[in-house]
Amino acid sequence: MPNDQLSATFAALADPTRRAILKKLTRGQKTVSELAAPFQMTLPAISKHLKVLAKAGLIERSRDAQWRPCRLRAAPLKQASHWIELYREFWEERLDRLDDYLKKLQSKENDRVAGK
């Protein structure tokens, strides 16, 4: 298992339960029980997911021994976003080709109207 930050971030995101936990934390800090409630999972199962998220730096657990709420740390997502954005031109390529085609059509129509 590679242990670079970007790999850890993507590995942490590669699970729907972990993504749902992050989404829940966008509405503020939560206890482990609050996070576990909607998933019908045991606390140990949720704790395992929280460990993966914490190791990737995507959540932070308070030191308060009684309550230990989790909160979102989105900083690693910035690097992940930068990596993915380098590929934007490739997923938009088809759209660009369509755009070029429509521009050509428009240009021909303009020439026709201008009597060229």
67 alpha carbon, distance to own chain's centre: 27
CB closer to its own copies, 2 vs 115: 2
The span from the CA of 11 to the CA of 74, in Å, is 15
Cα–Cα distances in Å, from 35 out to 42, 43, 65, 106?
11, 9, 17, 54
CB closer to its own copies, 51 vs 104: 51
* Structure token pair of residue 92: 């938009």
CB closer to its own copies, 2 vs 44: 2
Shortest reach from residue 26's CB to its own copies, in Å: 7
Which positions touch its own copies (CB under 8 A)?
A: 2, 4, 6-11, 13-16, 19, 22-23, 26, 72, 74-75, 77-78, 80-81, 83-88, 90-91, 93
